[in-house]
Structure 1
């Protein structure tokens, strides 16, 4: 059974939720380069990349605070705001993840986006790339919940907004932070490592964080969704 053969009743009972950066938009590598450049400009002679890269997936503010703390440096609130704006401006120009548009077009489930970024940024990049047509206003962002990822808040908000139990939501995430959040919300998670920032070492990390399956090509997504929909439907039917 493929994604296109699911019955309409079954399809309506489940949803696909995608992270934005690194899943829809290939922006994580762009963001990382800008973060490193901005910090090394402020802290000449400091090698920040080994500290920044493991923190990707957290809110930009958390990445900056964590990097400063680990290196014994400081950033003013104005620094943090300026760096966040620079990173978002750079990421705004990043391309779609290769194959994502065709993959989403083949998935018949309702689709939502759950991001650790602020809503204005998510709206802008989805509008610029045209991916907004798959999501409409089903955008759930960190600035609308008490706690960002890795807390489950944004995914629980997504489930409420979609009117579905978390167990009926399948998530695609590219970071340990995001996989942790979706798993904590009680959702099944697919880990994606095909973005420009991904590495083979990420596979084990995503599995350890709770990803059921890790894949590297968006052409695989429709079939992975179809397989999950079948198993989730069977599990629902078997429940007392």
Structure 2
């Protein structure tokens, strides 16, 4: 728990960025695979990279290299990060997310494993920044990135709320694990271009209370959670 006790109208919605607000994970994955294949010809990197999505880019690269018995220089890592972020910056908003956020009356924040400059750029480009009013909690401002709970605990502290007053939307096992570790209720989203029904079980196992695939469902899911939390106070 963090912050003050839950009060009736003091609840918050916290959204991951890539894969929840911006449909960028498939774009990022393709670029990661392309960059690694260029460096490691004749190596099948895709089956190794895809399960690592949601981790910081550096962690993805380090883990992929370790699993494949390869290595990457610091220059390689920086170059790949730049290529992936440049590609992801061109991705569209997740279908229906703007309309969904506009219908949800809770205060909102974004908690991302990406760096703040990138998150600011993509939210501005897609017009989603207005929903968050600068409430961005990113990996470069905390001690540990997801799957550690740091960005989510930072968001709750920023709101001055208990973790139980925060509802999270995440698309990856990494993110669901982080939000669950922070003591928050988590909705798993599998409607992005990179997602599939095969992830449902994994997201539930990581701690998601419900998994959905269409952002038009989000306002109702948030309303049901709000009712449950409010009723628990009485």
| TM-score using structure 2 length | 0.96
Equivalent in the alignment of 1:213: 210
Following superposition, the deviation at residue 236 of structure 1 comes to: 2.5
C-alpha distance in 1, partners of 2:133/2:77?
31
Equivalent in the alignment of 2:52: 55
Q: Quick one: which of 8, 12, 15 aligns to 1:15?
A: 12
Within-5 A mapping of 1:39-78: 39-78=36-75
Matched, 1:116 2:91: no
C-alpha distance in 2, partners of 1:31/1:128?
17
C-alpha distance in 1, partners of 2:219/2:230?
16
Equivalent in the alignment of 1:100: 97
State the superposition RMSD in angstroms: 0.8
C-alpha distance in 2, partners of 1:74/1:52?
15
Equivalent in the alignment of 1:5: none
Within-5 A mapping of 1:150-165: 150-165=147-162
Deviations 1:150-185 (A, max 9, x none): 000110001001111110000000000000000000
Deviations 1:63-82 (A, max 9, x none): 00000000000000110011
Equivalent in the alignment of 1:128: 125
Deviations 1:197-238 (A, max 9, x none): 00111000000000000000000000000000010111233x
Q: Quick one: which of 164, 168, 188 aligns to 1:167?
A: 164
Deviations 1:3-33 (A, max 9, x none): xxxxxx843x100000000000000000000
Runs (5+) with no aligned partner, structure 1: 1-8
Q: Quick one: which of 81, 85, 90 aligns to 2:82?
A: 85
4+ long deviations beyond 3 Å: none
| TM-score using structure 1 length | 0.94
Equivalent in the alignment of 2:180: 183
Following superposition, the deviation at residue 132 of structure 1 comes to: 0.1
